[in-house]
């Protein structure tokens, strides 16, 4: 694919990411994606021949990789697991607040909407969450934490729940509280 094709694909994914993160699967209708991206319908089907589910799956994977890379970057500089997790929480809190409370977890809304009815998208959401949890588990294990598996799941659940509460309340207070409690947990 040439440079122009890569740019077209990227614009379609950018628009889809914005739409699904703010409003979930249902907010990312093909007409909305076309309007938000400024791309013609034919380009959408050329780059995503599987239609909406193909497009949403790729947008979820891409968003997941972006957060994963941000967490890995923090892991490279954080002196310990507590610093890593609080850093992640503050990064996500800043992102959420800067977006006007629209950008919490890039996967959660679709996961909640589609987990029971769309196996392919449920699997993509699970893969993204698994990749984030793996980073936490690796860091906990490297730090000698005796129960890295369960603790990684608990920490991810704490972050996801705090993001949901912060978005619903339009306040970063739930995330700030979660960050304070991480030290006690870890």
pLDDT at 5 over 80: no
Beta strands in the chain (DSSP E): none
Q: What is the pTM of this model?
A: 0.91
Q: 87: which residues sit within 8 A by CB, 6+ positions away?
A: 74, 78
What do you get for the CA distance between the two ends of the chain, in Å?
46
What pLDDT, on the 0 to 100 scale, is given for residue 83? 94
Q: 34: which residues sit within 8 A by CB, 6+ positions away?
A: 40, 41, 44
Looking at per-residue pLDDT, the higher value among 1 and 159 belongs to 159
Q: What is the pLDDT of residues 65-110, one digit of tens each?
A: 999 999 999 999 999 999 999 999 999 999 999 999 998 898 999 9
Mean of the per-residue pLDDT values for the chain? 93
What pLDDT, on the 0 to 100 scale, is given for residue 3? 78
pLDDT at 1 over 70: no
**CA nearest 82: which of 134, 132, 143?**
143
What pLDDT, on the 0 to 100 scale, is given for residue 114? 85
Average pLDDT on 155-182 reads 96
pLDDT at 171 over 90: yes
For the packed helices 119-142 and 81-98, what is the interaxial angle rounded to 10 degrees? 140
Average pLDDT on 135-149 reads 93
The correct answer on CATH 3.40.50.11810 for the domain covering 57-185 is: no
Cα–Cα dist 137/140, whole Å: 5
What pLDDT, on the 0 to 100 scale, is given for residue 78? 93
**CA nearest 10: which of 52, 50, 63?**
63
Burial of 155 (0-12, 13-18, 19+ CB in 10 A): buried
Angle at 20 (CA atoms; ends 129, 68), nearest 5 degrees: 30
Sign of the CA dihedral with 161 first, then 165, 167, and 173 last: negative
For the packed helices 119-142 and 52-77, what is the interaxial angle rounded to 10 degrees? 10
Cα–Cα dist 71/87, whole Å: 9
Cα–Cα dist 36/27, whole Å: 11
Average pLDDT on 135-146 reads 93
């Amino acid at each position: 694919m040439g440079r122009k094709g890569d740019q077209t694909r990227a614009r379609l994914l950018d628009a889809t990411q914005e739409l699904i993160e703010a409003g979930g699967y249902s907010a990312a209708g093909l007409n909305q994606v076309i309007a938000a991206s400024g791309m013609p319908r034919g380009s959408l089907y050329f780059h995503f021949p599987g239609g909406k589910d193909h497009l949403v799956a790729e947008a979820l994977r891409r968003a997941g990789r972006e957060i994963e890379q941000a967490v890995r970057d923090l892991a490279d500089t954080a002196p310990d697991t507590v610093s890593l997790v609080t850093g992640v929480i503050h990064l996500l809190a800043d992102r959420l607040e800067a977006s006007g409370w629209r950008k919490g977890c890039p996967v959660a809304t679709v996961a909640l909407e589609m987990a029971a009815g769309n196996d392919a998208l449920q699997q993509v959401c699970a893969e993204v969450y698994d990749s984030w949890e793996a980073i936490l588990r690796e860091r906990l294990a490297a730090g000698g934490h005796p129960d890295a598996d369960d603790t990684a799941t608990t920490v991810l659940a704490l972050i996801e729940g705090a993001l949901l509460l912060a978005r619903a309340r339009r306040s970063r207070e739930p995330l700030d509280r979660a960050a304070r409690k991480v030290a006690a947990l870890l």
